[in-house]
Structure 1
Amino acid sequence: MSATRFLARMSLDTEVGTALSDTRIRLLEAIQREGSINRAAKAVPLSYKAAWDALDTLNNLAPEPLVSRTIGGRQGGGTQLTDYGRRIVAMYRALEIEYQATLDRLAERLKEVDGGDIQAFQKLMHRMSMKTSARNQFSGPVTGLRTGGIDYEVRIQLDADTEIAAIITSASAENLGLAIGREVTALVKSSSVMLAIDPSLRLTARNQLWGTVSTVHEGPVNSEVTLTLPSGRSVTCVVTAASCKDLGITPGLRACALFKASSVILAVCE
C-alpha cells in the first residue's frame, strides 16, 4: 500500500479576499522565467485576463509593487518581478516548506493515535472543501448498482439505517467510475425536496427520510424547513409559506422529506 501524505497548499487571506495563493505564486514565478504576462498565464495556466486581474490585486494590496512592466524600447517591453516581488515569492516558498514539514509530522503522530486513520481524515477534508449551490449534501459508500439499460440506479449508504437512491445515466456511472464501496457525495437542491407529515400516505418518491423539524425560516412566499434525521444528519427543503401553515410545520414536528431519485446529483473526489 502506498504511503499517505498531506500536501501543503497555502493561501494568505485578507479582509477583501485571498491575496496570496499557490496559483498566484506560480504566476509570479512564471513571470520571472518568461518575462511576459501572456506566456506566464499560459504556463500556469490562467486566462490572460485572470492573470492581469491577479497582478492588479497583488500590486494593490502589497505595500510595494511585486511586478514591474516596461513598454516598448529595444527589448520590446516585458514584465519582471521587482526585488520586493522576488522576496515575497522566496518567503512564501520557505513558509510552504515549513508548513509541509509540519503536516508530515502531524501525519506521523496520527499513525500513533489509536484508531487514527489518515485516509479517513483526508476524505473528511475533501467533503468539507467541496463548494456547491445544493443545500443538501450527503456522503457515503455505494451499496447498490442496478442497470436499466440507459439508466443506473445507485444506492448510497448514509448510515446503518438510511440509504438514498439516485438515477443517473449509464454514461455518467462509467465516467464517475462507480463501484460497490466507492465513496460518493450526493447533492439534492432544497427546491427538489417535498415535505409530508402523514405516515399513511403512499408516494412514488424513491427517497423518504423521516425526521424531526428542527428549524423553520419563514419568508413572505416560501419557507425553509430543516429536518434532523435520527442519525444527526439534516435535510432542508423549501415549501410555500401557505403549505407550512396548512401542515402546521413547527419545530419538534415529525415529518418526512421526499425527493425523487432523479433529483439526486452524484459527485466523486479523484
Structure 2
Amino acid sequence: MSSPGSHRFIGRLAIEAGMMGTALSDTRIRLLEEIDRRGSISQAAKAVPLSYKAAWDAVDAVNNLAPAPLVVRVTGGRQGGGTQLTEYGRRIVAMYRALEIEYQATLDRLAERLDDIGPVGIREFQTLMHRMSMKTSARNQFTGPITGLRDGGVDYEVRLRLDRDTEIVAVITKESAENLGLAIGKEVCALVKSSSVLLMTDGDLRITARNRLQGEVAAIHAGSVNDEVTLQLLSGRTVTAVVTHGSCEALGLAVGVPASAIFKASSVILATWD
C-alpha cells in the first residue's frame, strides 16, 4: 500500500470491451445489483440513489449496448410485475466486481511506483485523465459491427447491424470515415439524439428516412410541452424520441401501442473506441 501522505488513485471501473461500449460503470452496476436484490426498479433507484427516470435511462443504455438484455420487465403475478436481472446480467455483474478488485490492486501498485515522481506529477496525470473523460448527451446509443460501406464520393454510407433483423444506416463524410478507420466488421457506436427521432403508428406509410425501427411503446414521460417516448424493439433494445404532447395524443401513443421510430441516415453520428 502507499505510504501515509502519498497520493492514491481510486479506481472507478468503466468497462469498454466489445459490444458493451462504455455502458458499465460503478453506479450502473450498483443499480443492477439492487434490481436483482429487490425486483423493483423504483426501489433499486432509491437505494443507489437515482431518480426513477435516470434508472430507466441506465437500464435502457446497458440493454441497448449489450449483445443480450441484462434487465427484463416482468408483468403479472401476485406482485403485479416488476423488473428482473437476467442470468446474463448476473454474470456481467459478477465479472465486473472481480475485475474491479484486480483493477484497484493494480492502481495501488502503480501509485507506489510513481511516488518518486512527486505529488505534482501525479496530480497532473489525474487532471489529464479527468479531461479525457467524455460523456455524450445523445439519448440513443447503439453498438454493432459494420456490415456495409459504400463510397459516395464526398460521403460514405455505413451500415451497422444491431441484431439479426435490424440494421442502422448512417451517412458521414469521407474524411470522417477515414479518420475513424471504418472497415467491414469493425465495432462502432451509433449516436442518435432523441430530438432527431420521429414516431409513426401507420405501418403502411412510405417515408424517405432510411432508418425505421419497429417496436412498441414501453414508457412515456409526460411534460408540459414535450413528451419523452421510449419504444422497446423486438431485440430488447430501446429507442427514445422527444415529441410534442399534442403529437403524442394525436398518435394515440400509450404503453403497449405498436409504433416505429424514424430517423434520417444523416442524423446518425458514429464513434469508435480506438
Q: Shared fold by TM > 0.5?
A: yes
Question: 2: distance between equivalents of 1:159 and 1:27?
Answer: 42
Give the SS at the match of 2:273: coil
Counterpart amino acid of 2:181?
A: G
Higher strand share: 1
Task: Report the counterpart of residue 212 of structure 1 in structure 2.
Answer: 216
Counterpart amino acid of 2:165?
A: D
1:166-216 Cα distance to aligned partner (Å, 9 max, x none): 011111111111111111111111111001111222211110111111111
Task: Report the counterpart of residue 143 of structure 1 in structure 2.
Answer: 147
**Aligned-pair CA distance for 1:268:** 1.4
Give the SS at the match of 2:146: strand
Counterpart amino acid of 2:127?
A: L
- 1:222–1:238 CA contact under 8 A, matched in 2: yes
1:3-26 Cα distance to aligned partner (Å, 9 max, x none): xxxxxx9349999xxxxx888996
**Equivalent of 1:266 in 261, 270, 273:** 270
**Distance verdict in 2 for CA 1:35–1:144, change over 3 Å:** closer
Q: Which has the higher contact order (CA 8 A, sep 6+)?
A: 2
1:200 matched to 2:201? The reply is no
Task: Report the counterpart of residue 178 of structure 1 in structure 2.
Answer: 182
Unpaired runs of at least 5, structure 2 = 1-9, 14-25, 28-47, 49-103
Say which one has the larger Rg: 1
**Equivalent of 2:236 in 213, 232, 236:** 232
**Distance verdict in 2 for CA 1:26–1:161, change over 3 Å:** same
Question: 1: distance between equivalents of 2:118 and 2:166?
Answer: 57
**Aligned-pair CA distance for 1:247:** 1.1
- 2:11–2:107 CA contact under 8 A, matched in 1: no
Where does structure 1 differ by over 6 angstroms across 4 or more consecutive aligned residues? 12-15, 21-29
Task: Report the counterpart of residue 10 of structure 1 in structure 2.
Answer: 11
Give the SS at the match of 1:46: helix
**Aligned-pair CA distance for 1:33:** 2.4
Q: Alignment length, in residue pairs?
A: 175
Indicate the RMSD between aligned Cα atoms, in angstroms.
Answer: 3.1
- 2:189–2:271 CA contact under 8 A, matched in 1: yes
**Distance verdict in 2 for CA 1:35–1:137, change over 3 Å:** closer
Question: 2: distance between equivalents of 1:140 and 1:190?
Answer: 19
1:197-244 Cα distance to aligned partner (Å, 9 max, x none): 112222111101111111111111100111111111111100000111
Task: Report the counterpart of residue 163 of structure 1 in structure 2.
Answer: 167
**Equivalent of 2:225 in 199, 202, 221:** 221
Pairing of 1:1-270 with structure 2 (within 5 A): 10-11=11-12, 30=114, 32-35=115-118, 37=120, 39-42=121-124, 44=125, 46=127, 131-270=135-274
TM-score, with structure 1 as normaliser: 0.57
**Distance verdict in 2 for CA 1:10–1:34, change over 3 Å:** closer
**Aligned-pair CA distance for 1:27:** 7.5
**Aligned-pair CA distance for 1:41:** 4.2
- 1:27–1:41 CA contact under 8 A, matched in 2: no
**Distance verdict in 2 for CA 1:41–1:25, change over 3 Å:** farther
**Distance verdict in 2 for CA 1:24–1:225, change over 3 Å:** farther
**Distance verdict in 2 for CA 1:23–1:187, change over 3 Å:** farther
Question: 1: distance between equivalents of 2:250 and 2:170?
Answer: 30
Unpaired runs of at least 5, structure 1 = 1-8, 16-20, 51-128
